[in-house]
Structure 1
Amino acid sequence: MHVDPARVLDDLVASGRESGAAVAVVRGGVLEVDHAAGTRDGVEPMTSDTLVMTFSVAKPFAALAFLDAVAEGHLALDQAVASVWPEFAVAGKQGTTMRQLLSHQAGLPTFPEAATGVEYDDRETLVGMLAAAAPAHAPGAGVAEHALTYGHLLDEVLRRATGEPLADRFARIAAAGGWDLHLRVEDRDLDRVASMVDPDGSWRSGYLRDDRWGPALGRPPGLLDPAVLSSARLRRTPFPAVALHASAVALARFYDDVVRPDGAVAGRLGHDLWQAYVSPAVTGHDALLDRPVTWTLGFQLSEDDGIVELGMGGAGGSSAWADPAAGYGAAYVTRQLGGHDRGERVWEAVVARR
């Protein structure tokens, strides 16, 4: 007997394990599941158009904006980063390529320790630190998710090559696709963003105590603090590695499209670049995630019980994915900061509908 994903979500809210969340499934352009439960701020109900800060669910969208510039001829995948960003050519990073940035092989998974004294919206200082930093491994010699650094690296290259910030380019792409996805929230949308909540404080402290995740997510400070995450200041700040504000429906529509050779994403990028976006780029033991990972130029590609999925999860518990064989895209977004146990229950219910 299959369990309805909507019922699973309702049960999570009723049990107190979930404060506010939404699930959506889109198959072949048809919205099959669209359900929200709980509240977006402790009072107002969560709805289908509530935006949620989804952490690393952002990364494929930062990559898409970058690849869009590649498609237009401003950049090439195997071009050296230093060719447009000369200050980057220090400490063994001279040969780092755009492809290595996109696939988490550049050896810059964390901001330097000095970033603990930098404000999260001081983009110029943070970018300067990355330019001067020594990589954790020789570019291309290892893989480690660029947890907070990914977006700043891609953004600075785009600014140098095109004169346009990554968040601005992505806003144009999202508008063209009709996707309610935001790497920077405009004032008109601020009142529909969910506040983030860490009910017992264990989520934030657990990351900061961890030897791997503390440096990766704690520099610069503030991005694990629910008050910061719920502020208009953060919502207005482009931090493209993590600060995607999205609805579940918009994510599901995007993922339903992105794996289709005749979809809007493939049409925008062109066949070869689209293939590079959704196909394996590197497989190895990810030093930050501490497990084997296959990265494309933006996504994780995984296989579980013979089911191949393309997707990305975020530290707070949100996730979005596509199942190309079954022909659907799906997403679960949550405002309650925690692990992926709730999302796994929703995922199981969605997969059972294949």
Structure 2
Amino acid sequence: MTLQRRVQYVLDELVSTGAETGLQVAVDHRGRRVVEAVAGVADSGTGRPVAAETLFFSFSTGKGMAALVAHLLVGKGLVGYDTPVAEVWPEFGVHGKESATLRHVLTHTVGVPAMPRGLGPGDLADWNRVCAALAEAVPLWAPGTRTGYHSFTFGFLIGEIARRITGKPMGRLLEDWVAAPLEVTGELRFGVPPSDLARLARLEDGEPPPAEAAEPDGVLAPWERRPRASMGNDPRFLRAEVPSVGTFTARGITTAYAAMLDGRLISPEQLEELSAVAFEGTDQVFGTPAQLALGYPAGRIGWPGGGGSYAYADPATGISFAITKNRLTPDFSTAQRLADLVTTEIAPPA
């Protein structure tokens, strides 16, 4: 049985058993698309089936694409990893953030993991207000000394750095620098134009998550920590440019990661640099051990999304993988099962 058929079998099984509602999976290996599979429905209310071009709001999977834009800024010589943020965004250099660099942003070590001033989901569409609040924020630790998951602030920090340098918003940079050159226009979005909203899968909440350990000091608000379908289905939120989250097709984001591996977007030398371990410590938000590269967990280049989406590139195996789905689950068992299947088939352990 081919890998395509194996993956399709698993997707069909997940839908038929009710474990999932609608999914896409795409896999590239060393320049070749080896899997492109879909199953289920994009909208349980209408029965609209999932297609390869269906867009899925995928929460923090978007952080991987925000980090990619940062790496492209560096690759183009527009900024350096150790450039102080305040050099391009002067207002940011106050209250102890003067030493914060792009490297610190990418390793979640700036010290502003939560939205400041009590900003909530309804405020995220106001780019200038959010960035002004971040500029005035007092960090919870000296930049570069600790790490803590910057849930929604991550994308705004990268995005304002990028805007100050290029004069363009993140959505335009993602389109111009990634989607258009790779011929996946309309499949990688930070903000969804109204004309594309009808293409989106409709999210639905799955089982509630298990009881979680107490968060140190309650750093993040509940909405920053735990995704809900209502947020990812809200047209106002979907249209807003919030680069810590994103809307993608599996084939679109897999194509982007594959282009990082094969040199179309990132040089081999830069890929090696950004893949190396850049910070190790205890995550101040979750209280768990953290080992981070530049913009990604160490090991695979990628990021999971709350609710179970996941996309990554593995320099060791040459595999680029993405799963998008519309049932929000409290774990990544579906993504892990499929990623393990793909890895075992393509690059079995010696």
Question: Which TM bucket (shorter chain)?
Answer: 0.7 to 0.9
Alpha-carbon distance between aligned partners in 1 of 2:76 and 2:341, rounded to the nearest angstrom: 40
Q: Which residue of 2 aligns with 1:296?
A: 293
Determine helix, strand or coil for the equivalent of 1:108.
Answer: coil
Q: 1:345 to 1:322 in 2, by over 3 A?
A: same
Q: Which residue of 2 aligns with 1:287?
A: 284
Q: Which residue of 2 aligns with 1:329?
A: 320
Alpha-carbon distance between aligned partners in 1 of 2:214 and 2:39, rounded to the nearest angstrom: 32
1:47-67 deviations in whole A, cap 9, x for unaligned? 111111111111121122223
Q: Which residue of 2 aligns with 1:167?
A: 171
1:350 maps to amino acid: V
How far is 1:234 from its partner? Answer: 2.0
Alpha-carbon distance between aligned partners in 2 of 1:30 and 1:11, rounded to the nearest angstrom: 26
Alpha-carbon distance between aligned partners in 2 of 1:258 and 1:178, rounded to the nearest angstrom: 15
Q: Which residue of 2 aligns with 1:306?
A: none
1:224-274 deviations in whole A, cap 9, x for unaligned? 3423311322222110011x11111222222233223xx2112xxx44433
Alpha-carbon distance between aligned partners in 1 of 2:345 and 2:324, rounded to the nearest angstrom: 19
1:97 and 2:75 correspond: no
Aligned pair count?
Answer: 338
Q: Which residue of 1 aligns with 2:26?
A: 24
Q: Which runs of 5+ in 2 are unaligned?
A: none
Q: Which residue of 1 aligns with 2:203?
A: 196
1:300-354 deviations in whole A, cap 9, x for unaligned? 223xxxxxx3321111210012233332211111111112122222222222212
Q: 1:77 to 1:324 in 2, by over 3 A?
A: closer
Q: 1:276 to 1:334 in 2, by over 3 A?
A: same
Q: Which residue of 1 aligns with 2:264?
A: 264
Q: Which residue of 2 aligns with 1:177?
A: 182
Alpha-carbon distance between aligned partners in 1 of 2:309 and 2:103, rounded to the nearest angstrom: 26
Within-5 A mapping of 1:144-163:
144-163=148-167
How far is 1:69 from its partner? Answer: 2.5
1:224 and 2:224 correspond: no
Alpha-carbon distance between aligned partners in 1 of 2:221 and 2:259, rounded to the nearest angstrom: 31
Q: Which residue of 2 aligns with 1:239?
A: 242
Whether the 8 Å contact between 1:21 and 1:37 is mirrored in structure 2 is yes
**Pick aligned residue for 1:341 from 328, 333, 344:** 333
How far is 1:156 from its partner? Answer: 1.3
Q: Which runs of 5+ in 1 are unaligned?
A: 303-308
1:201-220 deviations in whole A, cap 9, x for unaligned? x25x978x963697536467
Instruction: List, as ranges, runs of 4+ consecutive aligned residues in structure 1 with deviation greater than 6 Å.
Output: none
Whether the 8 Å contact between 1:100 and 1:106 is mirrored in structure 2 is yes
Alpha-carbon distance between aligned partners in 2 of 1:277 and 1:117, rounded to the nearest angstrom: 31
1:20-39 deviations in whole A, cap 9, x for unaligned? 11112111222211111111
Whether the 8 Å contact between 2:7 and 2:338 is mirrored in structure 1 is yes
Q: TM-score, normalised by structure 1?
A: 0.86
1:101 maps to amino acid: V
How far is 1:188 from its partner? Answer: 3.6
Q: TM-score, normalised by structure 2?
A: 0.87
Whether the 8 Å contact between 1:171 and 1:183 is mirrored in structure 2 is no
Alpha-carbon distance between aligned partners in 2 of 1:235 and 1:212, rounded to the nearest angstrom: 30
Whether the 8 Å contact between 2:23 and 2:40 is mirrored in structure 1 is yes
Q: 1:20 to 1:212 in 2, by over 3 A?
A: farther
1:178 maps to amino acid: E
CA RMSD of aligned residues (A): 2.6
Whether the 8 Å contact between 1:265 and 1:274 is mirrored in structure 2 is no
Alpha-carbon distance between aligned partners in 1 of 2:222 and 2:91, rounded to the nearest angstrom: 25
Q: 1:322 to 1:123 in 2, by over 3 A?
A: same
Whether the 8 Å contact between 1:147 and 1:217 is mirrored in structure 2 is no
How far is 1:72 from its partner? Answer: 3.0
Whether the 8 Å contact between 1:112 and 1:219 is mirrored in structure 2 is no
Alpha-carbon distance between aligned partners in 1 of 2:302 and 2:239, rounded to the nearest angstrom: 25
Alpha-carbon distance between aligned partners in 2 of 1:217 and 1:239, rounded to the nearest angstrom: 17
Q: 1:233 to 1:62 in 2, by over 3 A?
A: same
Alpha-carbon distance between aligned partners in 1 of 2:264 and 2:41, rounded to the nearest angstrom: 33
Q: Which residue of 1 aligns with 2:251?
A: 249
Within-5 A mapping of 1:16-55:
16-42=18-44, 43-55=47-59
Q: Which residue of 1 aligns with 2:272?
A: 275
1:326 maps to amino acid: T
User: Identical aligned pairs, as a percentage?
Assistant: 30
Alpha-carbon distance between aligned partners in 1 of 2:217 and 2:26, rounded to the nearest angstrom: 29
1:287 maps to amino acid: Q
